[in-house]
Amino acid sequence: MQGPEEDAGLAGKVALISGGGAAGDGIGNGRAAAILLARAGTKVLVADRELALAQRTVEMIVAEGGTAIAASGDVTNEGDCKALVDTCVERFGRLDFLDNNVGIGSRGSVVAEKAEQYRRVMQVNVESMFLLSKYVIPAMIKTAGGGAIVNISSISALRPRGLTTYSTSKAAVIGLTRAMAVDHGRDNIRVNCICPGPMYTPMVYARGMSEAARSQRAKASVLKREGTGWDVGHAVRFLLSDHARYITGQVLVVDGGVTLQAPERESQEH
């Protein structure tokens, strides 16, 4: 019997990945999703504020025989969001998938955080997803008769730990996901969200991370290890694929069980 498990519905489709670059040859969450989608036959527009980083992702995909193009764009800028969508449709003729991946970190309480930084984090982590979706959704409807979107949140939205503005922004991403899923189900567009835990990506190690900090991150997981961009990339590819065709408005936690643990209890037991 021919079932949907025979075909993930990714080949020949077109994806736009925001923040699909990564420093050096590092594997960020967006770069991993771009490479994995390309391996399944999806054509990918890799968008990044830093063109060279997006170009490196494209080189990696092309070296494996995949199809991808790089485009520079700051997704906090509405004109750039529109231009990215236009480029995607002009170059590939359609748009089926969006990985809303851009996000920046921030540390501190409401007392410690500057209001200006709060506004910047909300703009980069939430408004960017609103703006890009505003142009992507009509293009999906027009060129593909529907599609699928993944918004990247964080376990900080579910279990805040001293990253107050970041946690607030990532909780807003969950709200945005659920609202978009309700609004656009009738357009044959599914919208889901991923909450990554501690993934070892360029965003994390570019700021410098000691071995002690890494081992603490690993210990927070019930699997006793950090994740990588690939773990998020596989989850993105699943949620965009037809294997997830009846899943919408959901939050998929990819954290090695970090959110299952209460660190204070763990320290009592060991």
Taking the complex as a whole, the smallest distance from the CB of residue 139 to ligand NAD amounts, in Å, to 18
Amino acid at 141: I
Burial 131-153 (b: 16+ CB within 10 A, else e): bbbebbbebbbebbeebbbbbbb
Give, as ranges, the residues between 118 and 177 that touch ligand NAD (CB under 6 A). Answer: 124, 128, 152, 154
Any catalytic annotation for residue 166? yes
Please say which residue, 19 or 256, places its beta carbon nearer to ligand NAD: 19
CA atoms in the 13 A half-sphere facing the CB of 27? 17
Q: Hey, how many other C-beta atoms are within 10 angstroms of the C-beta on 188?
A: 13
199 touches ligand NAD by CB under 6 A = yes
Work out how close the CB of 40 gets to ligand NAD at its nearest, in angstroms, rounded to a whole number: 20
Q: Could you tell me the strand order of the sheet in which 251-254 lies? A: 68-72, 43-48, 14-18, 97-100, 147-152, 189-196, 251-254
Establish if 258 lies at the interface with ligand NAD (CB under 6 A): no
Which helix (H) or strand (E) segment is 219 a member of?
Answer: helix 211-219
DSSP conformational letter for 256: T
Work out whether 256 is an interface residue with ligand NAD (CB under 6 A): no
Give the Cα-Cα-Cα angle 123, 31, 250 (nearest 5 degrees).
60
Q: Which one of 118, 135, 166, 246 is the catalytic residue?
A: 166
The answer to whether residue 198 forms part of the interface with ligand NAD (CB under 6 A) is yes
**Candidate list 10, 13, 15, 29; residue touching ligand NAD; CB under 6 A:** 29
Q: Residue 28 interacts with ligand NAD (CB under 6 A)?
A: yes
Beta carbon nearer to ligand NAD, 14 or 195:
195
What does the binding site for ligand NAD look like in residue numbers (CB under 6 A)? Answer: 18-19, 21-22, 28-30, 48-50, 53, 74-76, 101-103, 124, 128, 152, 154, 196, 198-199, 201-204, 229
Active site residues: 166
